[in-house]
Structure 1
Amino acid sequence: MKKSRFSDSQIVAILKQHEAGVPVAELSREHNVSTALIYQWRSKFGGMDASLMKRLKELGRRTPV
C-alpha cells in the first residue's frame, strides 16, 4: 500500500479547518489533493483526534495469530 504524504496530525488539522467552515475546494487547492480525498478522510476520520487515528491504524495492521 502506498504511504500517505500526510501524517495523522496533518489530516486531522485539515479536517478541523473544514469543520471550521473552510470550503473543501479551497482546502484541496491549498494542500494539493483532490476534493474526493478530503471527503474520504472526512468519512473515515471525521470526529477523531490524532491519537484515535493512530490507534485505528495500529488495529488495522495487526495480523491474526
Structure 2
Amino acid sequence: MAQEFGGLKSDQVRRMKELETECQRLRKAIADLALDTLILQEAGRGNV
C-alpha cells in the first residue's frame, strides 16, 4: 500500500483516502447544486 502512495506512512495513507472520499462527496454536491441552478434558470425563463 505504501508504494501506491509514494512511501507515505500508514496514517498518512489513511488521511489521504479520507480526503479523497470527502473530495468525491463535495464534487457530487457541487454537481447537484449546478443541476438545481440550471433547472431553476430554465423554470425562470418559462421553459419547464
TM-score interval (norm. to shorter): 0.3 to 0.5
Which of 1 and 2 has greater Rg? Answer: 2
* Structure with bigger RCO (C-alpha 8 Å, 6+ apart): 1
Using structure 1 for the length normalisation, give the TM-score: 0.32
Using structure 2 for the length normalisation, give the TM-score: 0.41
Structure with bigger helix share is: 2
